[in-house]
Amino acid sequence: MAALRGARPEDAAEVARLAGELGYPATAADMAARLAAILPVPRHRVTVAEEGGRLLGWIAAERRLTLESGERVEIVGLVVDAAARGSGIGRVLVEDAERWARGQGFDAIGVRSNVAREGSHPFYERLGYRRRKTQHAYVKPLAGGP
């Protein structure tokens, strides 16, 4: 079974590889910069599942403060290597995020799942998550932006 541990900067290439499996391509350098920004921040948690020097999955959770909802914890990313799906890695990663949220003093945790990721919906429901709403996500490119 894979061992859980906190993500480290040297995990950047593997974290990027896994993110690419979900359709979020990133270079190892891009991921290294993201990890460098996130890992030192106490309101973030990134946990990896490692076996034999290879990452089988990762989860990212974040404490969020918004005007309309107050403070909450949300799973903001979860990916399991395609070859390891169905092995329980996703469940233990989610349980790790839930333990962290409880340790932060929260009695609930949320997650958003793209409607196109049909396989993830029953996964979360089996773990006790209930759908609260469906929404659209919009993006607008800004003139003069990078």
- Give the residue from 92, 87, 94, 123 showing the smallest Cα distance to 110: 94
Q: Give residue 144's pLDDT.
A: 83
Supply the pLDDT for residue 103: 97
**Alpha helices of 11-88 — where are they, by DSSP H?**
12-21, 28-38
Separation CA 19–CA 75 (nearest Å) = 15
pLDDT at 118 over 80: no
pLDDT mean over 29-35: 98
In the 8-state DSSP scheme, what is residue 68? T
Domain 3-126 carries which CATH code?
3.40.630.30
Higher pLDDT: 145 or 122? It is 122
Residue 56: band (very low, low, confident or very high) from pLDDT cuts 50, 70, 90? very high
Q: Tell me how crowded residue 56 is: count the other CB atoms within 10 A of its CB.
A: 24
The pTM assigned to this predicted structure is 0.92
| Cα pseudo-dihedral 96, 98, 102, 106, rounded to 10 | 150
| pLDDT band at residue 137 using 50, 70 and 90 as cut-offs | confident
Average pLDDT over residues 132-142: 90
pLDDT band at residue 63 under the 50/70/90 scheme = very high
Q: What is the residue extent of each domain of the chain? A: 3-126
- With a pLDDT cut of 90, the percent of the chain lying above it is 84
44, β-bridge pairs: 62
DSSP annotation of 17: H
Token output for 139: 């993006």
pLDDT for residue 115: 81
